[in-house]
Amino acid sequence: MADTARVVKAEEATRLFVLLTVLTDAMMATLAFVLAYLLRVLIPLPDAAQGMVAIGAYVPMTLIHVASLVGVYFFADLYSLQRASRVDELSVILVGTTVGTLMGVAVDSLTLRNFVVGQDYSRVMVLYAWLLSILLVALGRLLNDWLRRRLVRRGWGRRRVLIVGVGEIARMILQKILWTPELGYDAVGVVEMEAGVADARGPTADGPTSDEAEGDLLGVPLVGSARDLSAIIDDRAADEVIIALPDDTSHSDVMWLISQCERGRVTIRVYPDLFQIMAGAVSISEMGGLPILTVHDVALSGWRRTAKRGMDMLGAMVGLILISPLMMLIAALIKLESPGPVFYVQERMGLDAQPFPIIKFRSMRADAEKHGPGWTTEDDPRRTKIGSFLRKTNLDELPQFINVLIGDMSLVGPRPERPVYVEQFRRSIPRYMERHREKAGMAGWAQVNGYRGDTSIIERTKYDLWYCENWSLLLDVKIILRTVLQIFKSPNAY
C-alpha cells in the first residue's frame, strides 16, 4: 500500500506540474494582452490610438488569444515536462506564440469583428501582444522551472530508478543522477548483468571493478542479478529501469532485459550504442529487392556550410574585439609568472584530418613536454598557477578565436586531437574519423555534456557523431550558451 501511495504521489506531482505550467502560460499571456492594450493607448506610435474602447470590451479577444496560445503550446509538446534546453524551449515558444497569435487574430476576425469591440484588431496591438507574450511566457517558464526544481529537491514527484550494469556507462549515468538531484531521480539499486543471462553464448563484458565488489557502486547498493530483475523491480518499487550496458552487449540480451521490465509498471530507458547513435544518418533502400542501409554523408555543404562559416566569422570578430583587454591581461600575468612564450602552438587534426596549428595561452611550464606528449590530468604538476586557473575556466582557449577567424576552426564542432592520439583512436574506435568531416570547434557537444580532459574517448566520439549528424544553427547557439554558463563549473576542466 505504501508503494502504491508513493507511485500515485509521483503521478499526482507530474499532473500538478503540468497544470501549474498551463496556468502560468495563461496568466502570462493574459498579462501580455493587457500590457499590449496599455502600450497602444500610452505610446502614440505610429500614431495616436484612435477610437480605442475600454479594456473591458477586449475580454473576449483576450480569452481567444490565451486559448490559442495554450492550444498551440499543447500541440507543440510544451507540456510534456521533458527535459529540454532553455534554448530549445525558447525557440518552440517563439514559433508557437507566432502561430497562436495569428490563429487568435483569425478567430477574432471571423467571430468578433464589428460585433463586440466594434472595430478591427489593432495591428500595433497585435505586435505588442506577440512580443510581450514571448517574453512573459518565457519568463514565467523560468520561474516555473525554478519552483519545480525546488519542489523536486524536497521530494515532490521523485522517481525510483534501477540501473542495470556496473561498468563505465552505468557509473557515468549514476554520477549524473547523484550530481543532479533536480532531475528528480533516486537511484535505489544497481543490478549486475551476469554471463549467460539471456542465453548461453558467453559473458557480457560488464564485470565489476574493485569498489563494486564491496557491494555498491558509488554508494548505491548492488541488489542482485539481472536473472531476478522482475522481482527486484517489485521489491524496490522502481518507477524506471535504465539499461546501461557496454556497446558489445548483444541485442538479444537487451531485448531479454526489456521483456523482464515489461512485467512491471516501469519506464524503460536504454543507453544507446554507437549504431543507435548513427541511426539518424542512415536510410533503408533496396538493391535488387534486398533491403540495405545507406549511410548518409554528414559533411555540411551548400547554404549550411555558408551559414556556419558566416556565424563563425561574425562570432570570432565580435569575440576578439570584446575580449582583447582580457587577453592582454592574461598575457601579462603569464609572462610575470614564468619564462617562456605567452602562446602555446600545437599541431592538431581538423577538417578532413588535415593538421593545423592550434593557438592557446600557455598554461604549463615551457619544458612540460620534454619527455613527450601526455594527457592533462587533475593536479598536473606541470601546470603553472595562472595556468591552473586558465584551464579551470577555459580561458586558455581564448586565442582560438584567431583560428576560427582564419578558417582553421569553427566556434562549435568536435574538439581537435593531436595526430598521435588520432592515429591510436582510429584503430580502436568505430567511425572515429567521421568526426573529422566537420571543422574542429572551440566548443563541442561532448564537452558541454561533461566529456573534457581525461574522460572516455568512446563516449566523446558518440557525442561528436551525434552533433555532426544533427547539426543546426540553433544547436550551435545552444552549445555556445551552455559553454559560457559552464565556464566556472566544468568538473573535468584541468
Which grid coordinates belong to 248?
558489445
Going through 57-215 in order, the beta strands assigned E by DSSP cover 159-164, 185-192
Distance CA 332, CA 311 (A): 30
- d(C-alpha 97, C-alpha 104), whole Å: 10
Q: Which amino acid is at 15?
A: R
Q: Whole-structure pTM over 0.85, yes or no?
A: no
Task: List C-alpha distances in Å: 258 to 44, 240, 255.
Answer: 64, 12, 5
Is the torsion defined by CA of 236, 238, 241, 244 positive or negative?
A: negative
Residue 122: the pLDDT is 76
DSSP string, 131-149: HHHHHHHHHHHHHHHHHHH
d(CA 27, CA 137): 9
C-alpha cell at 149: 526544481
**Under a CB-based contact definition with an 8 Å cutoff, are residues 463 and 445 in contact?**
yes
Q: CA 24 to CA 235: how far, in whole Å?
A: 38
Q: Where are the beta strands (DSSP E) in 329-385?
A: 343-349, 355-361
Q: How far is it, in rounded angstroms, from Cα 7 to Cα 3?
A: 6
Among candidate residues 238, 40, 20, 276, the one with its CA nearest the CA of residue 145: 20
Per-residue confidence (pLDDT) for residue 368, from 0 to 100? 63
The verdict on whether omega for the bond into residue 46 sits within 30 degrees of 0, i.e. cis, is yes
Give the bridge partners for 318, in sequence order: none
Which grid cell is 268?
524503460
Radius of gyration of the chain (CA): 27
Instruction: Name the stretches of the chain with pLDDT < 70.
Output: 1-11, 48-53, 82-84, 112-121, 194-214, 247-248, 262-264, 272-299, 366-381, 453-454, 487-494
Cell 555543404, residue located? 301
With residue 265 as reference, give the H or E element that holds it: none
Q: What is the DSSP letter of 43?
A: S
CB crowding 295-315: b at 16 or more within 10 Å, else e: eeebebeeeeeeebeebbeeb
Show the domains of the chain with their CATH numbers: 2-153 (no CATH), 159-271 (3.40.50.720), 302-369+376-485 (no CATH)
Q: Quick one: pLDDT at residue 1?
A: 37
Phi, psi (deg, nearest 5) at residue 274: -65, -35
446, 483 contact by CB (below 8 A): no
Query: All 3 cell numbers of residue 457?
Result: 574517448
Q: What are phi and psi of 373, to 5 degrees?
A: -70, 155
d(CA 443, CA 344): 18
For residue 47, the SS3 value is: coil
